[in-house]
Amino acid sequence: MNTEPPARPRVIARPILLGLLLAAIVLTNGCLTNDRLAPLYDWVVPTRWPDPEYDEFYPYYVELCAVSQFRPKGGIEGGIPGHGTLYLKGACLDPSHGYPRLRRCEAISTDELEAGHGTGISVNRWFTNVNWIGVPGKHLFYNGNVTPWDVLDQAAAAAAAQAALDLGVYSGVELGEYPTQEGHERSLEDFVRLHSMGTDFALRYGRTIFCSRVPVEAPQVDAMIDFLNEQNRQYAEGEADYEWSGYSDNCVHLVHNALAAAHIWKPLSVRQTKLKQLFNLAVPANEFVDLTDRTLLFEIEDFGKIWRDSAQHKALLEYDWLSTRHGAMSMTMPVHQDNELYDTSVRLFVLQRPFSGSATNKANLILGDGRATELYSNLRFFKARYEAILAERKTEEDEIFPNLGSYDESRVRYYEYIERQLTEVEQHLGTYQERTKQMFEERYQKAVPAGTREVK
């Protein structure tokens, strides 16, 4: 009876101390900073966003986003590596508590402009009694309620700030001694204007956004909600004060570990000893690259790798789901260009980890790969992968064992899962192709006069 995967050689890396020291993070006024971080982009980034069918195909998904450094004109600059945020489709703010908490949305929305579509999650270093705040809906979270043809000026920013206040985004949130401008008294409105807008919401006011999106199941949304709620509960109820740390507990640690709660990947430790924490650094752009790489390119064709990857294996057993799946895509949203308030050049950095290759090169490849940026190409890519996996599946007789071990039981579930994914992706492709055909036919009917459609 086969109960263990085939053995493979074990390779142990011995990191050089100098490499670890180069990875040490120097705290600054933002998420993280490091003089040895490498630039990812410094030009205008195109908008790459999944097709309208995406929300219909996938009722729940999560977006991990790396956002570039923001530099207000005449204001306080953010940290060099930018900021990390989370958008959780299908999670809504729970107003029954006196501090930010989440619950599953009562209805599934496919309209990104609705507040009930989902919630954006952001950590701010100046919070003291909570770890994060939630912002309802994508339009306020990403766009600050402005459209691409609007001028971003003081009036538009003031309207967005008031919208966030009216929605109760800061209800129950207490602030530390944040820096303010000369002549201004500290107040919630002052904090929103200086330190929250452009960081916790209205991200595109002064930042370019790079997101990795992956569809999830409803129980995974619940797991992430439970994790996030517990993070805020312990601080809001006085068990501890939240103390932001760029080195050991920053914006990205929360985002990473929220996904880990749903077995999307392994968790990162926080507040370890200084040496141990070097192995748990969290940099926004690296998280974007790592998640896209994991959800798009992990070798799900090799079940042994799934078995050895604790997060993938747990996700298969608990949620009947693998993080590497169709619908896993990357997106980009450029900073608002008609902008009177912020510098619109892009600065986003990735940490070059010792012995791991160039994260910058990997990011550039991901952002130029149609499998990661185009829904149709993504569906075709995974259809071919699923078909290849099933083509190599052993015969039914070979898979029936008199005493199945855990490895073989998991492998059977794996093949059953792949079969269902292939069926689903074929359905999505059929819908996508039919709608594309209909769209072109409608355009043809409008473009060509009725009397000239036949070839003479």
pLDDT at res. 393: 85
Q: Residue 37: pLDDT band by 50, 70, 90 thresholds?
A: very low
Tell me the mean pLDDT in the region 68-82.
Answer: 80
pLDDT at res. 296: 94
3-state secondary structure of 208: coil
pLDDT at res. 394: 64
| 147-202 pLDDT, tens digit each | 989 999 999 999 999 999 999 999 999 999 888 877 777 889 999 998 999 999 99
Q: Is residue 423 scored above 90 in pLDDT?
A: yes
pLDDT at res. 404: 54
Helix axes of 284-297 and 359-367: crossing angle, nearest 10 degrees = 60
Burial (0-12, 13-18, 19+ Cβ within 10 Å), 132: buried
- Cα torsion angle, 263, 268, 272, 278, sign: positive
pLDDT at res. 40: 47
Tell me the mean pLDDT in the region 314-338.
Answer: 95
pLDDT at res. 452: 60
pLDDT at res. 300: 97
Report the distance separating Cα 142 and Cα 89, nearest Å.
14
Strands 102-104 and 118-122: unpaired
Report the distance separating Cα 324 and Cα 297, nearest Å.
7
pLDDT at res. 348: 61
| 84-124 pLDDT, tens digit each | 999 999 999 999 989 999 999 999 999 988 889 999 999 99
Percent of the chain surpassing pLDDT 90:
57
pLDDT at res. 77: 77
pLDDT at res. 3: 45
Most confident of the following: 186-190, 213-217, 252-256, 451-455: 213-217
Q: Is residue 399 scored above 80 in pLDDT?
A: no
pLDDT at res. 94: 95
- CB distance 124 to 191 below 8 Å: no
Tell me the mean pLDDT in the region 406-412.
Answer: 88
Report the distance separating Cα 369 and Cα 359, nearest Å.
15
Q: Is residue 2 scored above 50 in pLDDT?
A: no
- What ranges make up the beta strands (E) of 70-208? 83-89, 91-93, 102-104, 118-122, 133-136
| 231-256 pLDDT, tens digit each | 999 999 988 888 877 666 788 999 99
Task: Write down the mean pLDDT value for the chain.
Answer: 82
Domain ranges of the chain: 36-378
Burial (0-12, 13-18, 19+ Cβ within 10 Å), 155: exposed
pLDDT at res. 25: 36
Q: Residue 269: pLDDT band by 50, 70, 90 thresholds?
A: confident
Q: Is residue 441 scored above 90 in pLDDT?
A: no
**Dihedral class, residue 160 (left if φ above 0, else alpha if ψ from -120 to 50, else beta):** alpha
Report the distance separating Cα 383 and Cα 58, nearest Å.
16
Q: Residue 295: pLDDT band by 50, 70, 90 thresholds?
A: very high
If one compares 48 and 225, the residue with the highest pLDDT of the two is: 225
Helix (H) or strand (E) holding 371: helix 370-373
